[in-house]
Amino acid sequence: MTVVIAGGGLSGLALAGHLALEPRWHGRVVVVDDGRRPLDTVAWSSWADRPGLLDAAVSSRFYRVRVHADGRTRTLPLGRYRYLVVRGTDLARVVRGLAEPLAHFDFRHGHVDEVVEHAGRTGVVVDGELVEARWVFDSVLGPPDPPPVDARLVFRGRRVRTERPVFDPRTPTLFDFRTSQAGCAAFVYVLPFSATEALVEHTAFAPPHGPLPGVDTQRAALADYLDDVLGAGPCAVLHEEGAVLPLSAGTASRRRGDVLTIGAPAGMIKASTGYSYQRAQRDSAAVVRSLVEHGHPFDLPGESARHRLFDAALLDVVTREPGELERAFAALFRGSSAEPALRFLDERSSFAQESRLFAAMPVGVYLKAVGRRLRA
């Protein structure tokens, strides 16, 4: 039995790693990637309350975070959670170290032209050549009918080095709303590497249609934050990155015959936060479990309709009324620990826990958003 993983990014590597660590799996695995997105420019942050199979790829662990909302800066412990950073090169190194010694794994460089699923044939066309498979896991092309986009996450980050220590190397800033909210809900995220070096990122939630914050606008916001908020003084820009991520609280149609969509096209990006790393890990574990226990990859846990609705309501509100994002995050992180908020964002919270979190939020505004979503 051969399976093909189309795409060697986060979801493809996660699935390959989980397959390599499953002793009951002996089928051939072909991972195809064209290298268009170099992994040395990619890193993922996440939070987790339990060990993961690929934790050897984690480069940094944090036990507290800083938040600033509604005029107040707070440093919060994470309780049972840890905030983790995984670099793309480290994840690739760990997965390849697990998989390449196994005879049934093959990493192939090539461009995925097409995913084939018709007339009894399943496979991937790579540089014009059909690679047949029993199952295809597609993170490249995605389903032909993706759910509608509810918002767009626009981020621009700069890795900077300052002349004097201005960062707390033990504490990332999860969000800081001391940046302009004109036009879009926005905050600044700070991931420290040392007291003088950090990734400082401007993140904005934009409506699904219409103009986006420009590159120059976000660069100016970052410069203002470094100067006016941190008082950083002279600093060198070591690297710059930016992207626009479509966010959807809808449910993706993942199965097409013997093809399963994985990764971002499968809805692994959390609509209300843009985080995806732990969701990809959990999905990979579920796919592998289904393969070895049921002989197919489709016995996957259902998605939480309640949390999807929460995400949809939040995106509806903040793209209409940008100031509500700061109020929402201030309410979620108002306790003495970040754990309740992270549990909710991790979709592991109970209705009772959510009711306590929502107590400080303008319920009427969100109920109207839920109504709009249900009528759509």
pLDDT tens string, the chain, 376 residues long: the values are 899 999 999 999 999 999 999 999 999 999 999 999 889 989 999 999 999 999 999 999 999 999 999 999 999 999 999 999 999 999 999 999 999 999 999 999 999 999 998 777 899 999 999 999 999 999 999 998 899 999 999 999 999 999 999 999 999 999 999 999 988 999 999 999 999 999 999 999 999 999 999 999 999 999 999 999 999 999 999 999 999 999 999 988 999 999 999 999 999 999 999 999 999 999 999 999 999 999 999 999 988 899 999 999 999 999 999 999 999 999 999 999 999 999 999 999 999 999 999 988 888 888 888 888 887 7
What pLDDT score was predicted for residue 187? 98
What pLDDT score was predicted for residue 99? 97
What pLDDT score was predicted for residue 289? 98
Structure tokens at 169: 């190397």
What pLDDT score was predicted for residue 373? 82
Contacts of 327 (CB under 8 A, 6+ apart): 69, 70, 361, 362
Asked if 166 contacts 147 with a C-beta cutoff of 8 angstroms, the reply is no
What pLDDT score was predicted for residue 116? 92
Amino acid residing at 183: G
In the sheet that holds 64-69, the strands lie side by side as: 72-77, 64-69, 173-176, 185-192, 197-206, 151-162, 235-247
Q: Specify the length of the chain in residues.
A: 376
What pLDDT score was predicted for residue 100? 95
What pLDDT score was predicted for residue 119? 72
* Distance of alpha carbon 305 from alpha carbon 310, whole angstroms: 9
Strand partners, 112: 126
Domains parsed from the chain with CATH numbers: 2-62+86-147+251-294 (3.50.50.60), 154-242 (3.30.70), 305-375 (no CATH)
Task: Give residue for tokens 């710059």.
Answer: 240
Give residue 35's region: left, alpha or beta (phi > 0; psi -120 to 50): left
**CA separation, residue 49 to residues 42, 83, 288 (Å):** 23, 9, 21
What pLDDT score was predicted for residue 376? 72
* Distance of alpha carbon 206 from alpha carbon 211, whole angstroms: 8
